[in-house]
Amino acid sequence: MKGRAIFLPVLAAIAFSGFMATNPAAFAQETGGESSSFKFIAAGMAFGLAALGAGFGLGFVGAAGLAAISENPKMQSSVFIIVGMVESIAIYGIVMMFIILGQ
């Protein structure tokens, strides 16, 4: 279980460092105005990692929420609020994707 929690941040750090090492904009060089394909990679990673994290979070929160509702049905509204907060992470990823693509 602990290995899974460490795997995703390490994977994100490796992907980010690889992106920064190959991105000419990271070295403050003029790109000449052409559209860089790294923008699409960054947008895909922003949404993909946010959706992946939201999926894992929703799995854990959903399982715990169903267990809590089965023991105490009055907790249903609280569980729905917490599930909505986890799902908002994916929405933030979509927003960041559109911000990256809009530049």
**pLDDT tens by residue, 65-103:** 999 999 999 999 999 999 999 999 999 999 999 998 887
Q: Which CATH architecture has domain 36-102?
A: Up-down Bundle (1.20)
Q: What is the per-residue pLDDT for 60?
A: 93
Quote the distance between the C-alpha of residue 80 and its chain's center: 20
DSSP 25: G
User: Tens digits of per-residue pLDDT, 7-50?
Assistant: 666 666 666 665 655 555 555 555 555 567 788 888 888 899 99
Q: b/e string for 56-86 if b means 16 or more Cβ within 10 A? A: ebbeebeeebeebbeeeeeeeeebeebeeeb
Inter-CA distances, 84 with 39, 62, 67, Å: 29, 11, 17
Q: What is the per-residue pLDDT for 69?
A: 93
User: Domain locations in the chain?
Assistant: 36-102
